[in-house]
Amino acid sequence: MRRFAIAMSAALLGCATAQGRAYERAELASLPLRSVAIHVASAAPTESGPQLAIDPLPPITHTATLALATTDEATRAALADAVRAELEAKGYAVDALDAGSVAETRSEADVVLAVRVQPVDRFFVSTWSDEERERARLAVSTQRPPMGPRVGRLMVGQAYAFDRRTGLRLWSRDAIDLPDDGWLHPDSALLAYGVVGARPPERLAVEAARAFVAETFASFPAARAGDKRTRAALDAIDPEVDAAMLAKVDRTRWQIGVDTGWSFDTIETRVEGIGDGVSIDERAIAPAGTFRVTPRFDVRFPGGVTIGAGLALGIAPGSFGRGYVVGDRGVRVAFSAPEHIGLRAAVAYDRYLSPSLHVRPGVGFFIDGWRLGADPRGVVEGDAVARIGALAELAVLYDVADAFFVLGGARGRAGAVPRGSLSLGLEGFVGIGVAP
């Protein structure tokens, strides 16, 4: 049971160890795309300490000024060449953007693409061997790995493609594979966004730019004739509504709330003192289900990955009493409003359907139990029933205001009690919360 809990915790944490934003509009798959106007900018190179602490550049909107506070012309030129070459290889006609923001352009290109990077020319990579790292991982160690300084160039950057006609964002990649905790190890994905090792400055700029572009634009679609109906569908979208939705998608949101729900679960215990004992189930222990109140905490990362946890406190209303007789032996047992406590953790994918409405399917694990309150107390196998298992849930959230939301949903559970029998549960819930 303990190994299962550790494995599930590690899986949930593993889902949250890389930050970054990736967005791709559904219409992109069939939109006519032939020409691109590009804007490329590079900040002056910086150096990192043992922990890579880079403030990601702010998300690009179609009205935002694209210029950066600092610039590095050699890197910008090398990056512009690499981006142009990549797009031309995908079949696009490429031009430089003629304005300081996407909204101000007079270009006739189908797409406006803005690419901005922050080069990091000195950084640290763990010197632990794979075996040492695996050993530390299995031990759930909090020890930090020894770090060795490296020169070269890592490119922490962003690329946003906008529909030139409407200003709608079509595609974006932003600080992808930047490790959440800032610690780089030899197989960190971020190392592919640049080069490791000393090089002359010109080669450094060119090779790092090529590596960044290859990684960032791997999923960028090739030029194509597309479908005119998709073009018409895109023209019908309200850019302001769309921008409001994307603003929520782009930022990390902490959510604190509470939900209340009613659950029905298979629960089993045994009445002792007669024959070989008699099994009794939820029809006696919680005949009307369990009322639960769950304070909840969720973090929605840019892109939609959400991790959350909740502590459920509940009670199974109603009472039950019955006598059991086997031959000339008998006992009487009663249950009165058994109490429930449960802990759950889940990872989910949050998807906005409109600027206010979003759905959140997820999976996770739970551990919970009931204090049965049997009377007399010693007549059942144990006064507590505990179980552990996996859950799947679907929540629908509605943002009433920017910092206030309501939600509703359902959650299914499948678990095992210590003796190994299967336990199933289904819960419906509604709740409220704030997203400060």
Distances (CA, A) of 290 to 107, 331, 340: 62, 26, 8
Give the residue with the Cβ less far from other proteins, 322 or 351.
322
Q: Which of 152, 180, 132, 144 is nearest to 303 (CA)?
A: 180
> CB burial class (10 A; 0-12, 13-18, 19+) of residue 129?
exposed
Q: Least separation, in Å, of the C-beta of 319 and other proteins?
A: 8
Written as six digits, the tokens of 281 are 């189930």
The H helix count followed by the E strand count for the chain is 7, 22
Between residues 327 and 420, which has the closer beta carbon with respect to other proteins?
327
Work out the number of other CB atoms within 10 angstroms of the CB of residue 25: 18
Q: Report the 3 state secondary structure along 328-356.
A: CEEEEEEEECCEEEEEEEEEEECEECCCC
Indicate whether 319 belongs to the interface with other proteins (CB under 8 A): yes
Q: Which of 184, 331, 348, 407 binds other proteins (CB under 8 A)?
A: 331
Closest approach of Cβ 409 to other proteins, in Å? 32
Judged by beta carbon, residue 137 or residue 332, the one nearer other proteins is 332
The identity of residue 90, as a single letter, is K
The residue among 336 and 356 lying less far from other proteins, judged by its C-beta, is 336
Helices (H), 349-416: none
- Which of the ranges 2-10, 72-80, 233-241, 324-332 carries the binding residues for other proteins, by CB under 8 A? 324-332
Smallest gap from Cβ 336 to other proteins, in A, equals 11
Among 32, 273, 361, 412, binds other proteins (CB under 8 A): 273
Interface with other proteins (CB under 8 A), residue from 1, 7, 258, 326 = 326
For tokens 């998709």, the residue is 230
Map tokens 């704030």 to a residue. 434
Cα distance between residue 124 and residue 147, in whole Å: 6
Cβ contact 293:315 at 8 Å: no
Cβ closest to other proteins, residue 49 vs residue 321: 321
- CB-nearer residue toward other proteins: 201 or 323: 323
How many angstroms separate the Cα of 402 from the Cα of each of 177, 231, 357? 28, 31, 12
Q: How far apart are CA 240 and CA 167, in angstroms?
A: 10
Does 336 participate in binding other proteins (rule CB under 8 A)? no
Nearest to other proteins of 327, 436 (CB atom)? 327
Q: Which of 92, 320, 366, 405 binds other proteins (CB under 8 A)?
A: 320
Residue 427 CB, nearest distance to other proteins (Å)? 24
| Spatial CA neighbour of 402 closest among 351, 428, 353, 436 | 436
Closest to 50 (Cα-Cα) out of 169, 147, 139: 147
Number of residues that bind other proteins (CB under 8 A): 26
Q: Does 55 bind other proteins (CB under 8 A)?
A: no
The reply to whether 323 sits near other proteins by the rule CB under 8 A is yes
Q: What is the DSSP string of 168-192?
A: -EEEEEEEEEEETT----TT-GGGG
Q: Which is nearer to other proteins, 239 or 277 (CB)?
A: 277
- List alpha helices for 195-308, DSSP H: 201-216, 228-235, 239-250, 282-285
Question: Quick one: which segment of 53-61, 79-87, 331-339, 393-401 binds other proteins (CB under 8 A)?
Answer: 331-339
Contact positions with other proteins (CB under 8 A) in 278-317: 278, 283-284
Q: How far is CA 120 from CA 74, 75, 128, 190, in A?
A: 14, 12, 22, 11
Contacting residue, 272, 363, 369, 410, with other proteins by CB under 8 A: 272
- The window from 147-155, 206-214, 260-268, 329-337 that contacts other proteins (CB under 8 A) reads 329-337
CB of 356 to other proteins, least distance (A): 46
Q: Closest approach of Cβ 334 to other proteins, in Å?
A: 7
- Kindly state the smallest distance separating residue 286's Cβ from other proteins, in Å: 13
325 binds other proteins (CB under 8 A): yes
> Using the rule CB under 8 A, which residue among 275, 288, 353, 398 binds other proteins?
275
Fill in the per-residue mask, 361 to 400: x = in contact with other proteins (CB under 8 A), - = not in contact.
---------------xxxx---------------------
d(CA 177, CA 158): 11
Q: Work out the burial of residue 165: count CB atoms within 10 Å of its CB; fewer than 13 is exposed, 13-18 middle, 19 or more buried.
A: middle
> Applying CB under 8 A, which residues contact other proteins?
272-275, 278, 283-284, 319-332, 334, 376-379
